[in-house]
Structure 1
């Protein structure tokens, strides 16, 4: 089972990603991956400046990205997911869906990366994207985001 700890301190104006939604995402991803033991995941919103810096350091890309995921596998946390709220908000506006759905999509996408899935190569994408679609449909999120 997954337990997601989401730091939302960066969000202003009383905006919050619902705790209930985190529980739903954790449940559906746990079920899809058939997780047998507890995995703690740290997640947080970071500024665009910080996200750009991290993206450059870890991926060699000097631009803001929406989500970064890391497998830590230490005694406290199995993984970490970082989000750019501003980038997610922009993407939601461009795609004409809610920020909640965009962050749900990014959370599922990031969790799959933490558990070793990738989409850089066609064969990897063939494994990751159908699973991602299955989870998103269970959550009521359009998988075409």
Structure 2
């Protein structure tokens, strides 16, 4: 799965983490590993221009999704090789998201993860224009985000434990060398 990210927003964010959130969502949605996705982080001004141009709505917004290829969902098992599919582009506005993060009581990165998953779902055809669609999309979004956060926390715990183990083993090895070198 190819995910390209370009940060032209002027806001310093953990781009690797945003890519991880996108990859996690795509994996959860069983999107082909040959899929290609682009994520762009832009300024308020650029987002406002996109919002006016493509949605005919004033002002900036937090996330926009621009789907490209139609996804092949009902493929037959005996069909030929799958070809790469350009899913589309997700455009995020960290400046706009910062205010939403503050209101929601979480970090900017948490908000960008949420918006990334939201954008992925839009690329996959989900919408929230009608109440039933909104329940389905937001429920799915919340499940994916919860699983992503749990996976990230487990990875952090594992990294911490690995670091602790390495320090203990390193200290034990140093202690053993010191003892064996003593007269």
Interval containing the TM-score (normalised by the shorter chain):
0.7 to 0.9
CA distance in 2, matches of 1:24, 1:38: 16
Residues in 2 aligned to 1:63 and 1:76: alpha-carbon distance in whole angstroms? 32
User: Are the aligned partners of 2:44 and 2:96 in contact in 1 as well (CA < 8 Å)?
Assistant: yes
Q: 1:49 to 1:9 in 2, by over 3 A?
A: closer
* SS of the residue 1:78 aligns to: strand
Q: Which residue of 1 aligns with 2:57?
A: 61
1:62-81 map, 5 Å: 62-73=58-69, 77-81=86-90
Find the partner of 1:38 among 34, 54, 71: 34
Q: Which residue of structure 2 aligns with residue 7 of structure 1?
A: 6
Supply the RMSD in Å over aligned alpha carbons.
2.1
**The structure with more radius of gyration:** 2
Q: Structure 2 stretches of 5 or more lacking a match?
A: 71-83, 151-183
> Alignment partner for residue 82 of structure 1, among 91, 98, 119?
91
Kept in 1, the 8 Å contact 2:62–2:92? The answer is yes
**1:3–1:26 Cα contact (<8 Å) kept:** no
The structure richer in helix per residue is: 2
CA distance in 1, matches of 2:23, 2:45: 32
2:100 pairs with 1:91: yes
Query: What is the distance in 2 between the residues matched to 1:94 and 1:113?
Result: 23
How many residues of Structure 1 are paired with residues of Structure 2 in the alignment? 137
* Match of residue 16, structure 1, among 7, 10, 13: 13
Which whole-Å deviations, capped at 9, do the CAs of 1:46-79 have from their partners, x for residues lacking one?
Answer: 1111111111111111111001001012977321
Q: Does 1:119 align with 2:128?
A: yes
Q: 1:120–1:31: structure 2 CA closer, same or farther, 3 Å change rule?
A: same
Equivalents in 1 of 2:58, 2:19: separation in Å? 33
State the TM-score, normalizing by the size of structure 2: 0.67
Name the SS for the 1:79 alignment partner.
strand
- Give the TM-score of the pair, scaled to structure 1: 0.83
